[in-house]
Amino acid sequence: MLDAAKLKADFPVLQQTVHNNVPLVYLDSAASSQKPQAVINALSKIDSTVYANVHRGAHWLSDESTALYEESRDAVAEFINAADSREIVFTSGTTGAINLVARSWGDANIEEGDEILLTLLEHHSNIVPWQQLAERKGAIIKWCDITDDGYLNLDEFENLLSERTKIVACTMTSNVLGTYTPARQITELAHAAGAIVLLDAAQSAPHQTLDVTELDADFVAFSAHKMLGPSGIGILFGKEALLEAMPPFLGGGSMIDVVSEAGFSTAALPAKFEAGTPAISPILALPAAIAYLKQVGLENIRQHEHALVTYTHEQLNALGKINILGPPPTAKAGVVSFTVDNLHPQDLTHALDNQGVAIRAGHHCAMPLHNRLSINASGRASFYLYNTLSDVDKFIQAIDKAIQLFS
* CA distance linking residue 229 with residue 32, whole number of Å: 9
pLDDT at 58: 87
pLDDT at residue 1 tops 90? no
pLDDT at 20: 87
User: Which residues have CB under 8 Å from 168's CB, separation 6+?
Assistant: 116, 117, 118, 161, 186, 190, 195, 196, 197, 198
pLDDT at residue 56 tops 90? no
pLDDT digits (tens, 9 = 90+) for 137-186: 999 999 999 999 999 999 999 999 999 999 999 999 999 999 999 999 99
Count Cα neighbours of 148 within 13 Å in the Cβ-side half-sphere.
Answer: 0
pLDDT digits (tens, 9 = 90+) for 297-323: 999 999 999 999 999 999 999 998 999
**Helices 128-137 and 94-101: crossing angle, nearest 10°?**
20
Q: Look over the chain and give the mean of its residue pLDDT values, rounded to a whole number.
A: 97
Strands 140-144 and 165-171: unpaired
Q: Give me the percent of the chain exceeding a pLDDT of 70.
A: 100
Beta carbons of 5 and 196 less than 8 angstroms apart: no
> Mind spelling out the 3-state secondary structure of 249-309?
CCCCCCCEEEEECCEEEECCCCHHHCCCCCCHHHHHHHHHHHHHHHHHCHHHHHHHHHHHH
Range list for CATH 3.40.640.10 in the chain? 41-294
* CA distance linking residue 317 with residue 388, whole number of Å: 19
Range list for CATH 3.90.1150.10 in the chain? 4-30+297-406
pLDDT digits (tens, 9 = 90+) for 283-294: 999 999 999 999
Beta carbons of 197 and 186 less than 8 angstroms apart: yes
pLDDT at 407: 80
**3-state SS assignment for residue 78:** helix
Write the class of the CATH domain 41-294. Answer: alpha beta
Q: What is the DSSP letter of 114?
A: -
Which element (helix H / strand E) includes 155? helix 154-160
**What residues are labeled active site?**
365
Task: Note the CATH number of domain 4-30+297-406.
Answer: 3.90.1150.10
pLDDT digits (tens, 9 = 90+) for 187-226: 999 999 999 999 999 999 999 999 999 999 999 999 999 9
pLDDT at residue 12 tops 90? yes
